[in-house]
Amino acid sequence: MTRRALALTAAGAALAAALLTPTAQAAPPAPAKPGKGPAWSTLVGSGVTTITEPGLHRTPDGTLHVAVATRDAANQNSISVSHVTAAGTYAGTSPAVGPWASTTLDPDLVSGVGGSGLRLVFGGLRTTTTGDAYSEGYLYSASADDAGAAWALAPNTAPVVGSTSGYGSYGTGVTTMPDGSLAAAYPLNSTITYQVGAGPVQSFTVPACCAYDMSLVQQDGVVWASWYANGSAASDQGVFVRQLYPTLGPTLQAPGSVSGGSSLAADQAVAMVARPGGGVYVAYKVGYPTAKSLAVWKVGDPSARTVPDSKGASYVALSTTPDGRLWVAFDGARKEARAVRTDPSATTFGAVQELKVPGEQVYGIAVDGGTGRGDVVVNTGTAVIHTQVLAGLTVQAKPGALKAGRAGLLKVTVTDAGDTVKGSKVKARGAKCTTNGKGVCVLRLGKARKGKVVVLATASGYDAGSDLVKVR
């Protein structure tokens, strides 16, 4: 059993009784102290555990909503929803569910019927008294308008998944169908249980216990599921993908998710997205006992692409932009957050951005690319925090070395995930130039001493990029 599943099982034993009572929006907490790097805002600062896993959804008005499950001193669970503007500014937190005797710690946020509004999906027990409403242990839902301030619990007679083991989910996945109904699935031990809309509860088993960290997406009405399994045989472990609906498809093992007969647990929902323009994509760790790298796999391709600068990552998240790019967010070996955006075809990675995390602790990461920028959400173990990052510029200066005491020319190329960037401002040692339509300009440098020259490029809508040129 993974670290996350052990904690989820323990959480399911908590006892309490409560009602869902929407109240006024809370005042914003104080921002976290970021040190170097981008500013972080604290979305939820108490009751967070190391396995708290936020759920993200952006409404049509551009607001990003972040659902967080917390546990209080009495071991009762509640779920709140924080709000972040399209510009990346924290705009408050609203209570949504609880306190309950138990809820899953990975609530999912998805759109309402017709694409507007919000639905919150979670497993739980409001009380442990037999016969009480919401004590059945189903996957339940609550709904709100685009503001996400006032939440209404759906009737317990209309659960998202009407199986009484939902409260013990090892990681729930949810997606919205084209008709506005919900599809949801969760693993428990070796069984994966799922339901689409008002259809019957269905299930299948994996060859060996256990399955964890379910994700669901739909594309053109076809529902895909992904999960991590830790069976003993190499064929029974790693990251898996399967079509759930309208028919069950074959189970596919993600290439490279098993190394030498061993694999690394996801420890949060398996990163999976349905990309605008086509394709279902999954991101996961490669290597053992630590990650040699992260991989991004287009389901059905024979191989996966390696995410740059991802060695040692423990957590990975995926999101899409409206034009089909992918944002990949993950933690670095120094416990910083990192994020990188691809080109519109999702085949080439841009510059990896490093985001120093307050306290240098990362226990989970999420990302949303709905504005084209990257909204990164991190669980620090004691708080859930947010920052926004722009795609980074890649700068290449040639030649890579100059002779000391001589003037020289540097041809500088500026790109974004392989695509040239026109109008980028480039400077180094007092010299300046602006890139043309091919993303190129020439710097005329005066005589330089031995050492290094930093070539810096900036452009509107991007974080700066740089390259180093040796002087010898």
pLDDT single digits (tens) 78-121? 999 999 999 999 999 999 999 999 999 999 999 999 899 999 99
Condensed to tens digits (0 to 9), the pLDDT of residues 343-393 reads: 999 999 999 999 999 988 999 999 999 999 999 999 999 999 999 999 999
Mean of the pLDDT values across residues 36-46?
Answer: 84
- Provide the pLDDT for residue 2: 57
Residue 460 in this model has a pLDDT that exceeds 50:
yes
CATH of domain 394-471: 2.60.40.10
How confident is the model over 414-456, as pLDDT tens digits? 999 999 999 999 999 999 999 999 999 999 999 988 999 999 9
Mean pLDDT score, 395-401: 96
Give the Å distances, CA to CA, from 176 to 113, 115, 208, 216, 229: 8, 9, 30, 9, 25
Rounded to whole angstroms, the Cα distance separating 159 from 200 reads 12
Q: Pairing state of beta strands 77-84 and 90-100? A: antiparallel
CATH of 3-292, one of 2.40.50, 2.115.10, 2.60.40, 1.10.3470: 2.115.10
**Residue 229 corresponds to which amino acid?**
A
**Secondary structure class of 197 (helix, strand, coil):** coil
34 or 271, higher pLDDT: 271
Q: How confident is the model at residue 37 (pLDDT cuts 50, 70, 90)?
A: low
Query: Which residue in 171, 277, 165, 280 sits closest to 223, CA to CA?
Result: 280
Is residue 96 a contact partner of residue 18, using CB atoms and an 8 Å limit? no
Q: What pLDDT, on the 0 to 100 scale, is given for residue 20?
A: 34
CA dihedral 408, 414, 417, 421 (to 10 degrees): -160
Residue 294 has pLDDT above 50, yes or no: yes
Q: In a 10 Å sphere around its CB, with 0-12 CB exposed, 13-18 middle and 19+ buried, how is residue 34 labelled?
A: middle
Contact at 8 Å (CB) between 186 and 170? yes
What is the rounded CA–CA span in Å between residue 31 and residue 183? 36
Which of 262, 263, 280 minimizes the C-alpha distance to 271?
280
User: Would you state the pLDDT for residue 209?
Assistant: 95
451 HSE (CA, 13 A, CB side): 6
The pLDDT-based confidence of 23 (bands split at 50, 70, 90) is very low
Domain map of the chain by residue range?
3-292, 394-471
Separation in Å, CA 70 to CA 207, 246, 391: 33, 35, 32
Instruction: Say how far apart CA 155 and CA 171 lie, in whole Å.
Output: 23
Q: Which of 350, 351, 349, 310 is nearest to 331 (CA)?
A: 310
Provide the pLDDT confidence category of residue 34 given band limits of 50, 70 and 90: very low
Q: What mean pLDDT do residues 304-325 have?
A: 98
Beta-strand pair 384-389/394-398: unpaired
The contacts of residue 463 (CB under 8 Å, 6+ apart) are 351, 353, 389, 390, 391, 392, 393
